[in-house]
Each structure stands twice: as structure tokens, then as C-alpha cells.
Amino acid sequence: MKQALRHYFVVTGGYWAFTLTDGAIRMLVVLYFHLLGYSPLDVAMLFLFYEFFGIVTNLVGGWLAARLGLNVTMHIGMGLQILALFSLTVPDSYLSIIYVMIAQAVSGIAKDLNKMSAKASIKTLLAHDSDSSLFKWVALLTGSKNTLKGLGFFLGALLLELAGFRLGLSILAIGLLIVLVTTWTLLPNALGKAKSKAKFSQVFSQIPAINYLSAARFFLFGSRDIWFVVALPVFFYEVLHWDFMQIGGFMATWIILYGMVQAATPRLLQGRQATGKTAQRLAILLSAIPAGMALALMQNWNPEWVVIIGLALFGFVFAINSALHSYLILAYSDKDKVAMNVGFYYMANAGGRLTGTLLSGLIYQYYGLSACLWFSASFILIAALLSLRLPD
């Protein structure tokens, strides 16, 4: 038990470090390329391959992890992230849309290999624990990850302000390299490797609960990214006239608090079962928030306060729903196939993010933030309908 917990904390530490770079590179790219004159749709296109290859990576990554071990796939992810960071340090003349899309593709592969490996490792390391204990550990990893991603947003804005785009990326890459060497020496190579040879056909889940949960995850994360990824930072910069530090600081604070709510979800749901019905009720409640924000903006209420208050409410409910999903995917999976089930689930997650990212740039450029919020509410309602099929 002590060794399992020690390995859990090593995995968590590596995941934290990776997540810090993931949030920072996202903020660096969004702000720097908007500063270079890229339109919102152009900025969204930069992340097209990032999200698309996340779908492919999660589909194949779970199978690879079952054959090679979760430790191997986690460190492949770290190595690819270092490569992606250094690849963006070239002069501006090389930073075409296609070049940056390819660099972001590498970063997307890295992120999903690392995330899938870290999440699946929990089931492997703590398989003997009860469901309530598993929920606690999953919520802690998920919540702390998002807290660190929020710090990454702030770090990205800070590095852009103080060190510049290229030096900031180099600092992130060198730091992650140090973490890679450290975690590689502390984790067993066979972590998460399936006892039997995993067949590629097994990456497609045969469990209805996992399929419905994955579909709900697609629309849940699509609903967030439709307005959060591109539309919101550009709205802050163009409409509210915030500077980089204000944007980075605010979004960092939001994600940090979002992560803290995720980590506290088992306590917040104390006395209530963590079931599919709970996920359905949370989704219905969540859908009302972007719809209410859109109505308020259409009525010409103060946009700054509408966005700040709306984001706080949205983040609170979304965080609980997301943490519940992260627990359910492990609860529905058995130990030997957890890597493939988690990979399939996060393939759907990446598909939702891809769809949301593209719609974020497209809808905001032509119709504005209110339209993004209406689409967000619609996506959440679809997630609620899919959650009706989740077992109690």
C-alpha cells in the first residue's frame, strides 16, 4: 500500500508539471498570435490538430499503454511536449499557420498520452481501494491538475510579459525535461501493462455505460470550449480592453478555483450517491447558466459583470460534473482494461474539445459571444439526455 501511494504521488507530480506547461503554452499561443494579427478563427485553427490528434492518441494510446505500460506512454508524452515547446522558438517568419498547427499536434499527442496514463494509473495503483476512496483519489488528481493548468495560464501570460515568447517556451521545456528524468527513475516500467496481449479491436468499448458516458463527455467539454478557448480571451482583449496580465490572471484564477472545486467534489456530494442520475441533474442545472448569460448580454447588461459572475457559476457546476465523470469511467472499468477504456473515454473528450474550439473561433468571429453561449447551453442539454442512459 505504501509503495502504491508513493507511485501515485510520483505520477501526480509528473502530471502536475506537464499540466503547468500545457496551460502556459496555450496562453502563450493564443495571446502571442492574436498580437501578431491573427483573427479569432485563425487562432482557433492553430489548435485544430491539437484536438484532432488528441482523438487519435486516446484511441491508440490506451492500447499502447496496455502493451507497453502506463509509465512508458506517460514519458513519451513528456518527451513530445518538450519537442513541441522547442519547435515554437523559431523566428516569426517560420511561424505559419500550418507550422504552428503541426507543433500543436505534437503537443496534443503529448497531452493526451500523459493525461490518459496518469488517470489510468490510479485504478492500477489503488485497485484494492473502495469506490468512495477511488472517488477521492480521482477527484484529487483531476482537481489538482486543473489548479495547475490555471497556474499555467498565469505563467504563460507572465512569461510573455517578462521573458517574451521564445525564452518563455525554452524555460518551460528545460523544466519539463528535469521532471521527465526524475519520474522515469522513480516509477516501475511495468506499471499498467495488461497481463494478456491487448488487441487493437478492444479499444472500442463494448460496455454501454462507457459508451454513453463518453458521448456525454463529448458534449460536456464541447460546451465549455465553444466559448472558453478562443472567444473568451479575445472578448476580454477586444471588448473589455483587458491587458495580457489581466486576461491571464483572471483565467488562471478561474481554473485554479475550478480545480479546487473538483478536488472537493466527494465532500460536496457527501450523502449523495455518485451515479449517472447525479450527472444528469448537474448537466440540466449547468445548461441554464450560459443561457442566462446570453440573455443578459442581449439585454445589454454590463458585459464585464455578466461574464465574471457567469463564469464563477459555470465553473462551480461544471467542475463537479467533470469530476463525477472522471470517477465514473474508472468505476465502470475493470483493472486489466482500464487503460483502453480511459483512452476511449478521453478520445470522446478530445472530440468535444476539437468541436468546441473550432466553433469558438467561427461563431465568435461572425456572431459574437452570445451566440457561443447559446450553443454551449444546447450542447449541455444533449449531455443531460445522454446521461439518462447511465446506470445508477
pLDDT, average across residues 279-304: 93
Determine, yes or no, domain membership for 191: no
Average pLDDT for residues 30-41, to the nearest whole number? 80
- How many CA atoms lie less than 13 Å away from 19 in the CB half-sphere? 25
Whether 128 has a pLDDT exceeding 60, the answer reads no
Top mean-pLDDT range of 120-129, 178-187, 373-382: 373-382
**Within a domain: 194:** no
How far apart are the C-alpha atoms of 350 and 222, rounded to whole Å? 9
Name which residue leads in pLDDT, 22 or 6.
Answer: 22
* Residue 193, H or E segment: none
- The answer to whether position 47 is within a domain reads yes
210 is a domain residue? yes
CATH number of the domain within which 62 lies: 1.20.1250.20
Rank 41-50, 79-88, 131-140 by mean pLDDT and report only the highest: 79-88
Give the closest residue to 46 by CA, choosing from 96, 113, 115: 96
| Residue 193 belongs to a domain | no
* Residue 29 included in any domain: yes
Instruction: Return d(Cα 98, Cα 333) in angstroms, integer.
Output: 38
Residue 387: partners with Cβ closer than 8 Å, 6 or more residues away = 212, 216, 276, 277, 279, 280, 283
pLDDT of residue 205: 58
Domain that holds residue 288: 2-186+203-387
The pLDDT > 90 percentage for the chain reads: 22
pLDDT at 286: 94
Confidence (pTM): 0.72
Residue 392 located in a structural domain: no
- For residue 192, is it within any domain? no
Cell of 367: 456572431
Q: What is the mean pLDDT of the chain?
A: 81
> Mind listing the pLDDT tens digit for each residue in 292-329?
999 999 999 999 999 999 999 999 999 999 888 888 88
Structural domain total, the chain: 1
